[in-house]
Every structure is written in C-alpha cells, then in structure tokens.
Amino acid sequence: MHGLSGASMVPPTQDPALAGMRSLVKQRTQDFRDLRNALRAGDLAGAQTAFNTLQQEIQKASAASGGKSPFDPKGTIGKDFQALAEALKGGNLDAAQSAFKTLRQDLRAARHAANHFGSGGSQSSPPATGPGSGGLDATA
C-alpha cells in the first residue's frame, strides 16, 4: 500500500507556516508589553517607539493574512488603536494611557468572545492567539 504520492505530510509542530505565525504572535506580544511598560513609566518617547514597532508588526501580519486584521479602523479595536496612535503622535501621555487602557479592555473582550463563541465552545486554542485578539496577549 502506498501513502499519499506527491504530498508531504508535515507534522504541525514542524510546519514552517505555523512556526512563522507563532514567531509573529510572540513578537507582537512583546511589542505590546514594551508599549504598556513605557506608558506605565510615563516614557512618552519609549511608548512612541514601541507603538511604531507594534504597528509595523501588525501591518506585516495583516499583509500576510490577506489584509485581515482586528485593527480595521472601522471596528472597535481599530478605533481604539487609532486613538492611541493620535494621542502618541500628539505627545499627550495622559490620553495615550487612557486609550491604551481602553484598547486592552476591548482586546480582552474580543478574546473572551472568540474563545467562547468562535471556537465552538472548545478551549483548545491558546488565549493569546484568538481571532479577536490579533495575536496579542491583552493581559500582558
């Protein structure tokens, strides 16, 4: 008996596409933490740098997924992200901290909804990579 001819079966743990996705999620989570830490410390310049890095990573991930992103400017998370961008661009630390808090709350709510409704009740997907979270760990 012959196996699948011409097809290669790659175990999920060795799939290069999955490895690349995990790497992107890990990097965005770290960028999110860097942004959070800079805002908590009152470091506006650090927050601006971390935000710019995070934004670039999100754009890469969006392009890699065919333009799909939870950061669509028409959605709640996208509007939160835009408010954060504007506050940081304007140099308003208080507004940036407030916008970041709102963004985190909405990311958590989206992740919660994705875990309970998007997975058919299954808890098998990692919480930091739920479709509504954009791969970001909002608890970071």
Counting residues of the chain whose pLDDT is more than 90, the rounded percentage is: 34
Residue 116 lies in a domain: yes
Whether residue 34 lies inside any domain: the answer is yes
Provide the domain limits for residue 107.
Answer: 20-133
Crossing angle of helices 44-64 and 16-40, rounded to 10°: 160
| pTM over the 0.75 mark | no
DSSP SS3 for 40: helix
CA 61 to each of CA 17, 23, 37, 69, 140: distance values in angstroms, whole numbers, following the listed order: 12, 11, 23, 8, 19
Q: How far apart are CA 82 and CA 119, in angstroms?
A: 28
> pLDDT tens-digit profile of 62-81?
777 777 776 777 888 889 99
Say how many domains are in the chain: 1
